[in-house]
Structure formats: C-alpha cells, structure tokens
Chains A and B, each alone.
Chain A
Amino acid sequence: SQQGEEDPQALSIQEGENATMNCSYKTSINNLQWYRQNSGRGLVHLILIRSNEREKHSGRLRVTLDTSKKSSSLLITASRAADTASYFCASGDNTNAGKSTFGDGTTLTVKP
C-alpha cells in the first residue's frame, strides 16, 4: 500500500483564512517534502523537512513533522485565491534511496 496519505482529501476556505493539511506515512524516513500541483500538471517543490527536524518555515508555509506519530502537517497562513491547488506530501524512506512515495493529495480551494 502507498504511504504518504493526506487528509483532508478536499478543503475549501475563504481568502485570508489558514489552511492545514495533514500527511501520514508508514516507514522510517530520511525526510518529507511537500509539493504543489496546479491543474493536473507538473508538481512544484515547496518545502523539505528532515527527519531530525520538528518544524520548518518558508514564507507563509509552516511544516511540522512528528516522527513518533509518522505524520506531518502543512499550514498555509493568510491564504490567497492563488493558493488554490492540490498539495502532496512525499516521504523519502531509508530503504529505497532516491525513491519518494507520494500520497493522493489534498485539493485546496481558496474562495476570494
């Protein structure tokens, strides 16, 4: 089965609100990454958090990692309509060097 499962599957919020997406994984990881995808095309890397880190910030993005619970969250603060996209987590595990496992994604809609 695929690890890196996001929830919720879909999230709809108003502009200015915060959006929180969660990701769970199954095996030990080197790091976990979040990607964004617009309109079903290529993914764009957002942020990477290493297994020995607990929290990381990049602009309006905040990522947390809890290795004891094998989970991560992505928080987008002060959301904008342009944040509307699908967001995927990808876990890079220790046993398959180079191969990350992607979840099914969370579709975020930010209404103006």
Chain B
Amino acid sequence: GAGVSQSPSNKVTEKGKDVELRCDPISGHTALYWYRQSLGQGLEFLIYFQGNSAPDKSGLPSDRFSAERTGGSVSTLTIQRTQQEDSAVYLCASSPSGQGGDTQYFGPGTRLTVL
C-alpha cells in the first residue's frame, strides 16, 4: 500500500516568509510525528499527534512553529517568519497505534532552505 508522503519535496524560501509543509500518513495509522534533521545530525523531535488526544508539542523550538492534524489524517507543519537556522530536512512519520516505541514509518522528507 501507499507509504507516508510529504510535500513539497524541496522548498526554498526567503527569510521572514511563512511556509507550510504537508504530511499524508499511512491510512489507518493513529499516530503522526514531525522531526527536524539538520545536515549530518540526528533527528530532533518536534511534535506528536495520537488519535484525538492533545498533541505533544514539547519539541517545537519556538512559537513560530505550529502543526495541526485535520480529521486524524493529514498534517500541516507551519513555520512563520522563517529564519536561516530553520533550514533542515523536515521528516514526518506515522505509526499504527502510537504505543510506546511503536514502529514508525517515515516519509521522504521536505528539504527546507531559508535564504
């Protein structure tokens, strides 16, 4: 079946502009995650959605970052007033149940470049 998809695959924007990144999880997966990965670095957790529960936003680096998940499916990560340090690959993942340590299925990522 279809895997996790993300769009756009690449985004170049100017400093100060807002950007929206989209994630389509695997159908039926209850949990959805956003991560950020800077060049040559590990994954930085940003936010986690599980079913109808309030999202875990503990990883969002500033109030310029927000995310929503509509209808328990598609998610959008929004970065307002982008800064150069926001340049990174943004990875989305979904998992079937969201239980502790559930296997996560990753999308190909969106590479964001802020000029």
Contact of B56 among A42, A92, A99, A105 (CB under 8 A): A99
Contact of A99 among B41, B48, B109 (CB under 8 A): B48
Tally of chain B residues near chain A (CB < 8 A): 30
Do B104 and A45 touch (CB < 8 A)?
yes
| Interfacial chain A residues near B35, Cβ < 8 Å | 102
Chain A nearest Cβ from B83, distance in angstroms: 21
Do B109 and A93 touch (CB < 8 A)?
no
Interface residues on chain A, size class = 20 to 34
Do A40 and B103 touch (CB < 8 A)?
no
Do B101 and A43 touch (CB < 8 A)?
no
A65, CB-defined interface residue at 8 Å: no
Given contacts A102-B43, A105-B42, contact A42 B100 (CB under 8 A): no
Residue among A2, A40, A45, A99 having the largest count of chain B Cβ atoms under 10 Å: A99
B73, CB-defined interface residue at 8 Å: no
Given contacts A96-B56, A98-B48, contact A41 B108 (CB under 8 A): yes
Which of A's residues lie within 8 Å of B, judged by CB? 2, 29-33, 35, 40-45, 48, 88, 90-94, 96-105
Which of B's residues lie within 8 Å of A, judged by CB? 4, 31, 33, 35, 37, 39, 41-43, 45, 48, 50, 56, 89, 91, 93, 95, 97-109
Given contacts A33-B103, A35-B106, A98-B50, 5 further A-B contacts (CB under 8 A): A43-B104, A45-B104, A90-B101, A97-B98, A100-B104
